[in-house]
Chain A
Amino acid sequence: MNAWLTSLQAIVTREALRFLHQRGRFIAALVRPLVWLVVFAAGFRAALGLSIIPPYQTYITYETYIVPGLCGMILLFNGMQSSLSLVYDREMGSMRLLLTAPLPRWWLLLAKLIGSTAISILQAYAFLGIAWLYGIKMPALGYVAALPALAIAGLMLGALGLMLSSFIRQLENFAGVMNFVIFPMFFLSSALYPLWKMAEASILLHRICAANPFTHAVELIRFALYTEANLPALGWTLLATVVFLGLALWGYDPARGMIRRKG
């Protein structure tokens, strides 16, 4: 096997092992969206039905509405989690080992991104499975069509995590990421409420939501789950992936990025 693939395999295996050894993390990753689905959505149940917006063909309950958003939530938290683990790796010194491998740095980082995205997707499917058992069923083909959407959204949010990790020096700063990245991204999106509802409250908020790449990631997943392609959402998500990945690579560039700054 050539060195590139070996490194990819090694990094993905390491991610998988780390994931398997942290059973608590898997459970936490599932419990979080499930609490939203079972408790939060119950409070906003909308037993009388939500208005029809694409891709829905008829009236839906709130539980049905938030499922794609909660898939997005899993990907978002996982993206951040992997950034947290990178910061940890840096502090422990294992990152130095990784980055000194005789392969381009961008490849090593990309391999890391692929590994963490694969795990995110697995968790999203586990969540969709539980939602199915809970009675929220998508068209059968939707589960297949969602795979590329989850992969792209996962890569985008993973790249965001990678980018952040290149700027965060210490583990303690991660709380800031929670406050200034995860929460605003999640709440200022279409994950929990349709955008037209935001527009009713404030045009500015609506615009922020519409510009939020997480909104597009969620809409991409939402449409895919109903076997429809949302091309604008796809375009924006891909663009955000490229930008975040570019910034992450720049951040990890020893000539310019954090390595030099760290001295």
Chain B
Amino acid sequence: MTRQATNPKALFLAALLSASAGPALAAEIWVTNEKDDTISVIDIDTLEVIRTIPTGERPRGITFSQDYSRVYICASDSDTVQVMDPESGEILHDLPSGEDPEQFILHPDNRRLYIANEDDAITTVVDVETRKVIAQIDVGIEPEGMAVSPDGKIVITTSETTNMAHWIDTETHELFANTLVDARPRHAEFLKDGTELWVSAEIGGTVSVFDVATQQERAKFGFEIRGVHPDRVQPVGFKLTEDEKTAFVALGPSNHLAVVNAETYEVEEYILVGRRVWHMAFSPDKSLLFTTNGVSGDVTVIDVERREAIKTIKVGRFPWGAALRP
């Protein structure tokens, strides 16, 4: 032991320094609980719920602003998008979202929020700074899935009943293409380079891959889980790994995630998770994936590398959306 360390003053100073440096704030996964009207915050290091925050009625879609200073929450039954301060958990204000907002997507300009209004068959565009509606775009019946291309030029709305992906030009706010997908499309995402669009169809039981330049279907794949009736295999949310070589697809009431080779579109594995798996979010380094399991009211943590469920964490009732707060 050095002399300095034995000096009580030095010890106190050292203690003070280490306390002020503190443990680095761990990344969190924010999960909306549809039935509890709350958000459960999961600490990624301890894999435990560390906070529960009240929200408006039936919170579903959730996303953070680019600097993570705001969190937007679709409070579907309150017919509004709530803006929350993630530090205090306080609702700062509401945004005019239109009726029954379910999912939304924040444009790369960090200002325009594209919101699917399930009951009104429209997509509402809101400026989050002026808090005004910029445009309302007629789309198919029961719009739900939302995606924006990395360059911000295209927004996709999928409509559950019309069974289409609607391609919206973000400059004119007009539809420039509509492509048919299988029954009840629920989620859409672009690849990072913007060349491909993936759309999941819940009742159809498939995921369609579109070529963005031509809006033509490039591939479509389905799922089959031994011992599970095909009707229960309902793809909803999905996420791609950092290298975009692998996709994880939530398969709803089949209680499984599919691990899909994103180059050959072949399903490589199925991972057992909780009941009725909806959506998911990655940890910052994408080594862990968190799935929301609606019916069992929990979140399953997947080790992405090993493709294994490592833990299931109890959250509120009917968890639905998930978002990362690094």
Residues of A within 8 A of B232 (CB): 48
| Number of interchain pairs (Cβ within 8 Å) | 37
Residue of A nearest to B274 (CB): A59
- Asked if B16 is at the interface of the complex by the 8 Å CB criterion, the answer is no
Is B311 a contact of A49 with CB atoms below 8 Å?
no
Q: Are B254 and A59 in contact (CB under 8 A)?
A: no
B310 within 8 A of A: yes
Number of interface residues of A (CB under 8 A): 10
Q: How far is the CA of A45 from the CA of B232 in the complex (A)?
A: 16
- Pair B254/A48 contact, Cβ less than 8 Å: yes
Residue of A nearest to B228 (CB): A47
B273 at the interface (CB under 8 A from A): yes
> B310 touching A49 by the CB < 8 A rule?
no
A57 lies within 8 A of B310 (CB): yes
- Residue A6 at the B interface, CB < 8 A? no
Q: When chains A and B are docked, how far (Å) is the Cα of A61 from the Cα of B271?
A: 11
Answer yes or no: B272 CB below 8 A from chain A CBs: yes
Q: Confirm or deny: B226 has a beta carbon within 8 angstroms of a beta carbon on chain A.
A: yes
Which of chain B's residues have a CB closer than 8 A to the CB of A60?
Answer: 272
Say whether A58 contacts B254, CB under 8 Å.
Answer: no
Q: Does A52 reach chain B (CB closer than 8 Å)?
A: yes
In the complex, what residues of B have CB within 8 A of residue A59's CB?
255, 272-274, 300, 309, 312
- A59-B273, A59-B300, A60-B272 are contacts. A48–B310 as well, Cβ < 8 Å? no
Does more than half of chain A's interface fall in helix, strand or loop, or is it mixed? loop
Give a binary string over A121-160; 1 marks a CB under 8 Å from any B CB, 0 the rest: 0000000000000000000000000000000000000000
Interface residues of A in 27-83 (CB under 8 A from B): 45, 47-49, 52, 57-61
Q: Are B312 and A61 in contact, with the CB atoms below 8 A?
A: no
Question: CB-nearest residue of chain B relative to A61?
Answer: B272
> Is B225 a contact partner of A47 (Cβ separation < 8 A)?
yes
Distance in angstroms from B272 CB to nearest chain A CB is 5
Is B227 part of the binding interface, using a Cβ–Cβ cutoff of 8 Å? yes
Q: With A47-B225, A47-B227 in contact, is A52–B272 under 8 Å at CB? A: no
Which of A45, A47, A48, A58 makes the CB contact (< 8 A) with B309?
Answer: A58
Interface size grouping (class) on chain B = 10 to 19
Q: Please, which residue of chain A has its CB at the minimum distance from the CB of B309?
A: A58
- Complex Cα distance, B301 from A61, in Å, reads 17
Kindly list chain A residues whose C-beta atoms are within 8 Å of the C-beta of B311.
Answer: 57-58
Minimum C-beta distance from A59 to chain B (A): 5
B325 touches A (CB below 8 Å): no
Q: A47-B227, A48-B228 are in contact. Are A57 and B312 (CB under 8 A)?
A: yes
CB distance from A51 to the nearest CB of B (A): 8
Q: Say how far B169's CB is from chain A's closest CB, in angstroms.
A: 43
- Which residues from B are CB-within-8-Å of A58? 272-274, 300-301, 309-312
Q: Is the CB of A45 within 8 A of B272?
A: no
Quick check: B274 and A49 within 8 Å, CB to CB? yes
> Could you say which of A45, A57, A58, A60 has the most chain B C-beta atoms within 10 Å of its C-beta?
A58
Judge whether A52 and B312 touch: CB under 8 Å. Answer: yes
Contacts of A57 on B, CB cut-off 8 Å? 310-312
Give chain A nearest CB distance to B44 CB in angstroms.
Answer: 16
**9 A-B pairs with the lowest CB-CB distances in the bound complex, closest first:** A47-B227, A58-B312, A57-B311, A58-B309, A48-B255, A49-B272, A47-B228, A45-B227, A59-B272
Extra 8 A-B pairs, beta carbons < 8 Å, given A58-B301, A58-B311 = A45-B227, A47-B225, A47-B227, A48-B228, A48-B275, A49-B275, A52-B312, A58-B300
**CB<8 Å pairs between A and B, sample of 19:** A47-B225, A47-B227, A47-B228, A48-B228, A48-B275, A49-B255, A49-B272, A49-B273, A57-B310, A57-B311, A58-B273, A58-B300, A58-B301, A58-B309, A58-B310, A58-B311, A58-B312, A59-B273, A59-B309
